[in-house]
Copies of this chain bind each other. A is one copy, B any other.
Amino acid sequence: MIRIGIAGYGNLGKGVEAAVHNSPDMELAVIFTRRDPASVSPKTPGVRVASFDSIAEYADKVDVVVNCGGSATDLPVTTPKIAALFNVLDSFDTHAKIPQHFAKVDDAAKSGGHIAIISVGWDPGMFSLNRMYMNAILPNGSDYTFWGRGVSQGHSDAIRRIDGVVDARQYTVPVEEAVARVRAGENPTLTTREKHTRECYVVAEEGADKARIENEIKTMPNYFADYDTTVYFISMDELREKHMGIPHGGSVIRSGCTGWDLTTKHTIEYSLKLESNPEFTGSVLAAYARAAYRMRQNGESGCKTVFDVAPAQLMQESGEALRAHLL
């Protein structure tokens, strides 16, 4: 049994817990939290909840720690710290800062003789992996990533910070016409606005100036200004009834050419339809936790990404069984 530790028990931590519960070769050994451990009620019967500050005491009780903190301020600090003590995974998703995060985690993991796998999930993660395979096998071409229809936590948070907003959900929606043109192999040049639209469901305070809120949303730089954005004001009841899920998904599509003169066309598409973003991400993390455990058993150490993990490492079955049944 691979003994898993979870650091952080939010939506993602709960997703990892469920994935471990449904993996016959894994057991959840401990949950680390920054909150009062007595206030955390895990689903897993009898599992220990410990303070994050006591994590070093568990070095011989846990094989892999799945770090479920946030990318903005938590993971850059905690993943290197954990990597010095344990094999560790995270889902660090600030694309621009991956190189510096990698370097720090690599130093820590090597010093401790552990495996760390960063940026595991679906984007970065399975989408990155598919972009790479598509680029490798169709080197002459263009790829496109569409996200949604799904809830963007960051955009929902941005709306909530506006004065007069009680709660909000933002859906990122791919523009169907753009997706169809890419699928047809047209290789179009698409602006930000042509690829996605944004739908906002907003609960406003009583008496709030809705026109001002709508304008503040639609003109918000980086988040909404470059998109066609639609704002719907709804009641808290409607938000609770229709918008409590965390669905997401999207597609990576590459069209490219082969042949001596590059005149033969091909299209590759990888797509996800997810009812729960954190549960799916948790399930991807659990599979890569198995790989981290095995790579360490093979004597490897240091920081890795999904690019460095041979696919067979993700599976419980032996190479022989995999070749006989999945190849």
A binding-site residues for B, Cβ under 8 Å: 15, 17-19, 21-23, 43, 95, 98-99, 102, 119, 124, 126, 128-133, 135-140, 185, 258-260, 262, 264-276, 279-280, 282-284, 287, 305-312, 314-315, 319-320, 322-324, 326-327
Q: Which of B136, B259, B274, B287 is A287 in contact with, Cβ under 8 Å? A: B136
Contact of A21 with B260 in the complex, beta carbons under 8 Å: yes
Closest to A99 in B: B324
Contact of A323 with B305 in the complex, beta carbons under 8 Å: yes
A41 to chain B, nearest CB (A): 13
A326 to B132, CA, bound (A): 7
A312 to chain B, nearest CB (A): 4
- B residues in contact with A315, CB < 8 Å: 132, 135-136
Copies of this chain, tallied across the complex = 2
Query: Could you show 8 A-B contacts with beta carbons less than 8 Å apart?
Result: A99-B323, A128-B327, A135-B315, A137-B280, A264-B275, A264-B279, A267-B272, A307-B310
Contact of A119 with B327 in the complex, beta carbons under 8 Å: yes
Q: Which of B124, B271, B311 is A268 in contact with, Cβ under 8 Å? A: B271
A296 to B271, CA, bound (A): 34
Q: Which of B140, B274, B310 is A309 in contact with, Cβ under 8 Å? A: B310
Contact of A279 with B259 in the complex, beta carbons under 8 Å: yes
Known: A322-B132, A323-B99, A326-B132. A273 touches B279 (CB 8 A): no
Contact of B310 with A310 in the complex, beta carbons under 8 Å: yes
